[in-house]
Amino acid sequence: MITLFTFPEAFGLRNVSPFCLKVEMALSYLDLQHEIALESDPRKGPKDKLPFIIHDGVTYDDSELILKHLDEFTNGGLYGGLSAKEVGVGTAFCRLVDDHLYWIVVASRWLEDDWFPHVYRGFFSRMPPVIGTLVSRMARNQVKKTYHLHGLGRHSMEQQAWFARRDLEAINDVVSEERYIVGQRLTVYDFSVASLLSGMLDNKPATWMTELAEQYPALAAYAERVQSDVNVYCRR
Ligand SMILES: N[C@@H](CCC(=O)N[C@@H](CS)C(=O)NCC(=O)O)C(=O)O
């Protein structure tokens, strides 16, 4: 049995974490029976982050390591048969979304004074108000610190938007010509890219990143294609 631990819904998104959603997409693609356990405290994960899965009593964490495990479990169901070029291009795009674009999306929710009340409502409003306010402030400071350490947080808003646009255009240039991120067929790499895009596009209310992504209609069409292929949707 496989149990996938993910965050409860927030911001109009059934699965608010792109890392959790990517694993859910992989499980569905592989047709592996699983259940979803909602967990709002990432500290329950082995490395203080979600997702993690428990598979027949063994815990696996980190979306990419989980995909590696699922690939081994299914004898190459995710990475088997990919060409070296597909692996190269796919890995590069996953790094772009997981380690760069993701952080700008996080900042567009957490670090915008106007938007932060939605973060509070989504993640902290189930706590008693005094504790919720305190914990949310601490968490916001942590996000600010991490964003600064990453380097993106040192840039002006204009520069951050420029970086975001470059990332979105890189994806847009591919999926305007090809159906999927490495070409004409769906691969495991689409789960990372489409998860982040769908969370950005279906995020309610819109953030400045939503508005930026909406300027590239091919992105929404691609995100819909992938979600429909695996029958796993980010939105409610
Ligand atoms: N590299 C990890 C990243 C996971 C991650 O950053 N998860 C976020 C949610 S989207 C999290 O749990 N954040 C809580 C925290 O950093 O305190 C993966 O691929 O699973």
pLDDT of residue 183: 97
Residues 69, 88 share a domain: no
Clarify whether residues 63 and 125 are in a common domain. Answer: no
Instruction: Indicate whether 19 belongs to any domain.
Output: yes
Q: Which pLDDT value is given to residue 5? A: 98
Residue whose CA is closest, atom 16 of ligand 1?
49
What token pair was written down for 227?
């979600």
Residue 50 Cβ inside 6 Å of ligand 1? The answer reads yes
Rounded-to-10 torsion of CA 7, 12, 98, 134: -60
Tally of CB atoms within 10 A around 59 = 12
Label the pairing between strands 58-61 and 52-55: antiparallel
Per-residue pLDDT reduced to its tens digit, 72-129: 999 999 999 999 999 999 999 999 999 999 999 999 999 999 999 999 999 999 999 9
Q: Is the CB of 17 under 6 A from ligand 1?
A: yes
**What is the domain-level CATH number for residue 213?**
1.20.1050.10
Task: Looking at the structure, tell me whether residues 92 and 201 fall in a common domain.
Answer: yes
Q: Cα–Cα distance between 68 and 79 in angstroms, integer?
A: 8
Q: How far, in Å, from the CA of 177 to the mean position of ligand 1?
A: 31
What Cα–Cα distance (Å) separates residue 107 from each residue in 18, 120, 152, 160? 15, 14, 9, 10
Q: Is the CB of 52 within 6 Å of ligand 1?
A: no
Same domain, 148 and 208: yes
Instruction: Taking residues 17-35, report their average pLDDT.
Output: 98
The pair of structure tokens assigned to 171 is 């994806």
Q: Residues 105, 211: one domain?
A: yes
Confirm whether 209 is domain-assigned.
yes
Confidence of residue 27 (pLDDT cuts 50, 70, 90): very high
Q: In this prediction, what percent of the chain has a pLDDT beyond 90? A: 100
Q: Is 4 helix (H, G, I), strand (E, B) or coil?
A: strand
Residue 48 CB–ligand 1 contact under 6 Å: yes
**CATH of residue 66:** 3.40.30.10
Among the candidates 45, 73, 101, a domain finishes at: 73
- Domain residue limits at 10: 2-73
Round to whole Å and give the CA distance between 30 and 144: 37
Same domain, 101 and 156: yes
37: which strand partners?
5
Average pLDDT, the chain: 97
User: Is residue 40 lining ligand 1, measured as CB closer than 6 Å?
Assistant: no
Q: How far is the CA of 45 from the centre of ligand 1 (A)?
A: 10
Asked whether residue 207 falls in the same domain as residue 92, the answer is yes
Q: In this predicted model, what pLDDT tens digit does every residue of 147-193 receive, in sequence order?
A: 999 999 999 999 999 999 999 999 999 999 999 999 999 999 999 99
Written as six digits, the tokens of 167 are 């990332």
192 shares a domain with 97 = yes
Assess whether 96 and 187 both reside in one domain. yes
- Residue 235 placed within a domain: no
Long-range contacts of 83-92 (CB under 8 A, 24+ apart): 85/182, 86/182, 86/183, 86/187, 86/189, 89/181, 89/182, 89/189, 90/181, 90/182, 90/187, 90/188, 90/189, 91/189
Count of domains for the chain: 2
Residue 98: the pLDDT is 98
pTM, rounded to two decimals: 0.97
Please report whether residue 37 resides in a domain: yes
User: End of a domain among 47, 73, 99?
Assistant: 73
Cα–Cα distance, 16 to 1 (Å, whole number): 23
Q: Tell me, what's the pLDDT at 142?
A: 98
